[in-house]
Amino acid sequence: MVERVSTGITGLDETLGGGYPKGRNVLLIGSAGTGKTTFALQFIHDGAKRGEKVAYLSLEQKVDELKKDVKTVGLDFTEFEKKKLVTFYDQSFAKEAEGPDVGDLAELPGKYAFNADKKSKTAVVQSAYEQIFKKAKADGVSRFVVDSIPALAANIIPSIEFENEIKMRTVLRKILIKMCNQMKECGFTSIFIAEAKGDDESDEFGIASYVTDGVIILKVNPALDTRIMAVKKMRATSHSTKPQSFAFTREGIVVNIPKKTQI
C-alpha cells in the first residue's frame, strides 16, 4: 500500500486517495492568477501544522511578500518559523538585484552565483541548489517546494551558453531529472511550480510534466468566474482526470468534489 502525504487542501486529498504519494515529485502548472503559489504554500503549511519540518525555495517573488499575501487565506507561518518548522530560502530575482547579503544561506554559492562568470554559471548555481537540498535533509525537512521552473531555467541556463533551443531543452531536462532524483534521495515529498504554455496543459518548456511523478493543472474560467483544477497524472494513484472547481476561503483553498468521485 502506497503511503500518502496530505496535500493540506480539503477535497484534493479525497481525489488522490489520501494525498500525494510520499517521497514523490508533483508539478503544478497554471497561468498567472490560478493559485499555484497558494496551493504549494498550503502544502507546507499543513506539514508544519503536523509538526513536520518543511521548506520553500523561492526563485521569483520575495519571501516576505509571499508570506504577507497568503495570510489573507489563513496561512500564517509566523509561529512555525519561531519553532523552526519552516525554512524559506529566498533566491528570488528581487533579492538578486539587491546583491549578496549575510543571511542564513550566506555560505552557499547560490548567494553569489548570479555574479559568476557566465561560462561557469550553470555548474555554480546547480551546486548551490544541491547544497540547499543537503542542508534541508540535514535539518529533517520532509516537504519541499521549488517556485518556479521558469525562474530555475533563467538562473541555471543563460541563453548565451547555448546556440539553439533544442540544446537548452536537453540540458534543462537533465537538470530537472537530477533535481527530482536528489529530492527523492533526500526523502522529500516535493512540489515544483511551472507556468502554463498558453492555453495548453503543458509547462512552458514541455519538459517538467514528463520527469515528475504527478501533474496538476490549474486554470481560470473567466466566463464563470471560477477556478478549476484537474489531476492530469499521479503515479501510484487511481484518480479522476475530470476538472473540479476550487475556491479561496479564509481557511485556504477548498476543492469541490462531486459525490461520485469521493473516496
Which pLDDT tens digit goes with each residue over 181-237?
Answer: 999 999 999 999 999 977 667 777 778 889 999 999 999 988 889 999 999 999 999
CATH number for position 145: 3.40.50.300
pLDDT higher for 154 or 247? 247
* Residue 160 clears pLDDT 80, i.e. is over it: no
Amino acid at 134: K
* Residue 245 clears pLDDT 90, i.e. is over it: yes
Q: How many CA atoms lie within 13 A of 103 on its CB side?
A: 17
> Measured between alpha carbons, how far is 7 from 174 in angstroms, rounded to an integer?
27
Amino acid at 142: S
> Measured between alpha carbons, how far is 61 from 70 in angstroms, rounded to an integer?
13
Q: Name the grid cell of 60.
A: 521569483
Report the number of distinct structural domains present in the chain.
1
Q: What is the largest CA-CA distance in the chain?
A: 57
Total length of the chain: 263
Q: Which domain holds residue 56?
A: 4-261
SS percent in the chain: helix, strand, coil, step 5: 40, 25, 35
At 112, the pLDDT band (50, 70, 90 cuts) reads very low
pTM: 0.86
What is the predicted pLDDT for the residue at 125? 65
